[in-house]
Amino acid sequence: MSRELALLGLAEAAALVRNRQVSPVELTDAVLAQADRWEPHIRSLLLRMDEQARAAASAAEREIAGGGYRGALHGIPVTIKDVMDVAGVPTTVASSILADNVAAANCVAVQRLVDAGAVIAGKANTHQFTWGGDTPPTRNPWDVERIPGGSSGGSGAGMAACIGFGSLGSDTAASVRSPAAYNGVVGLKTTYGRIPKSGFFPLAWSMDSVGPLARRVEDVALLLDTISGFAASDPSSLSAPLAPALPGLRDGVKGLRIGVPEDFFWHPIQDEVDAPLRRALDVLRDAGADVRPITIAGGEHLPLSVAVSFVLVIVESAAWHRSWLTEQPEGYAPDVYEYISWAKRIPATDFVDAQRVRRLITDVVDSAFSEVDLLAVPAQCQVAARVDTPLITFGDGTTEHRDPAGIRNLAIFNLTGHPGVSVPVGRGAVSGMPVGLQLVGRRGDDATTLRAAQVIEDALGTLGEPPLPG
Burial classification of residue 283, based on how many CB atoms lie within 10 Å of its CB (0-12 exposed, 13-18 middle, 19 or more buried): buried
Q: Is 198 a catalytic residue?
A: no
CA distances from 46 to 42, 50, 153, 164, 329 (A): 11, 13, 11, 14, 22
Q: Residues with Cβ < 8 Å from 389, sequence gap 6 or more?
A: 402
In which order are the strands placed within the sheet that holds 167-171? Answer: 45-48, 119-124, 77-81, 167-171, 209-214, 186-189, 420-427, 434-441, 374-378, 257-261, 290-294
- Whether 151 is a known active-site residue: answer yes
| Cβ-count burial 401-425 (b if 16+ within 10 Å, e if not) | ebbebbbbbbbbbbbbbbbbbbbbb
| Of 163, 332, 173, 114, residue with least CA distance to 152 | 173
For residue 223, the Cα-to-chain-centroid distance in whole angstroms is: 12
Q: Pairing between strand 374-378 and 257-261?
A: parallel
- Confirm whether 175 is a catalytic residue: yes
- What are all long-range contacts of 397-404, with beta carbons under 8 Å and residues at least 24 apart? 398/268, 400/268, 402/133, 402/134, 402/147, 403/132, 403/133, 404/306, 404/310
Cβ proximity of 426 and 277 under 8 Å:
no
User: Residue 178: which residues within 8 A CB-CB, separation 6 or more?
Assistant: 133, 149, 150, 152, 156, 379, 380, 406, 407, 410, 422
Instruction: Spot the catalytic one: 81, 123, 189, 197.
Output: 81
Question: Chain centroid to CA 397: how far?
Answer: 29
Catalytic one of 23, 44, 95, 151? 151
Which position among 175, 228, 237, 305 bears the catalytic label? Answer: 175
- In the chain, count of helices (H) and strands (E)? 16, 13
Angle, helices 24-42 vs 50-65, to 10°: value is: 160
Q: How far apart are CA 213 and CA 114, in angstroms?
A: 17
Cα–Cα distance for residue pair 47/51, rounded to 1 Å: 12
Amino acid occupying residue 410: L
Q: Among all residues, which ones are annotated catalytic?
A: 81, 151, 175
